[in-house]
Amino acid sequence: MENKNVLLICDLPGYGKIALSAMLPILARLGYSVYNLPTALVSNALEYGKFALLDTTDYMEQAIQVWKELGFQFDCITTGFLASAAQVDLLRAFIDSQRKADFLVVTTDNPRTEDPEAIIADILPGLEGSGTPHVVVVDRIEAIHWVMDHAERGDVIVLCGKGHETYQEINHVKHHMDEREIVADYLEGRK
């Protein structure tokens, strides 16, 4: 396998095997060179209902500037939890400067009480002028199947946004949805 530089942009929890603390060891074990840019330091997983959060936007701005000066490049950039609107703008510009994506599938993770199509409508302007081909598949399970149907040998598929969660929350109802099961069932069906 060709060594790929993967940048994970997400929160870093002090307690809980989620977000960066879960993704770093898995991708490193798979042989990727893994780097991280924490969007927030979080005391624990949010599912406990109470947490402390430190927004790292100032640090992110400084780190990105240093990386640009040093010429660091990444083959894959994933994002998860963003702590502020300022981080969205900062990362949009940074990702544009690193643009190498072959293809992007835009979908939802946990729309909760928001309209999934409205969430996607907020994402799409960030792709304008990027030259990155993309498709919108609102239903997350359909999106996972779509990307797996279209993947080619050597492609890296990164599923972002759900992490440890084994459900999808829509209108205050948690529906069982474990991406590990979705991928395993898909692969089993291809045998």
In this structure, what token pair is assigned to residue 22?
Answer: 């879960």
Multiple choice CATH, 1-100, 1.10.150.530, 3.90.600.10, 3.40.1190.20, 3.40.50.300? 3.40.1190.20
Q: What is the DSSP letter of 151?
A: -
Residue limits of CATH 3.90.190.20 in the chain: 102-191
pLDDT digits (tens, 9 = 90+) for 72-121: 988 888 888 888 889 988 988 888 787 655 788 888 887 888 888 988 88
Helix (H) or strand (E) holding 175: strand 173-176
The whole-model pTM stands at 0.57
Quick one: which of 160, 154, 155 has its CA closest to 179?
Answer: 160
Across the chain, which has 191 residues, the per-10-residue mean pLDDT values are: 82 86 86 92 88 95 95 87 88 79 80 87 83 88 91 79 80 89 88 69
pLDDT reported for residue 101: 53
Q: What is the DSSP letter of 15?
A: S
Helix (H) or strand (E) holding 55: strand 53-55
DSSP 99-137: ---S-EEE--S--BTS-HHHHHHHHGGGGTTS---EEE-
Multiple choice CATH, 102-191, 3.40.50.620, 3.90.550.10, 3.40.50.720, 3.90.190.20? 3.90.190.20
Alpha helices (H) in 2-84, listed in sequence order: 19-29, 57-70
Phi, psi of 188 (to 5 degrees): -65, -40
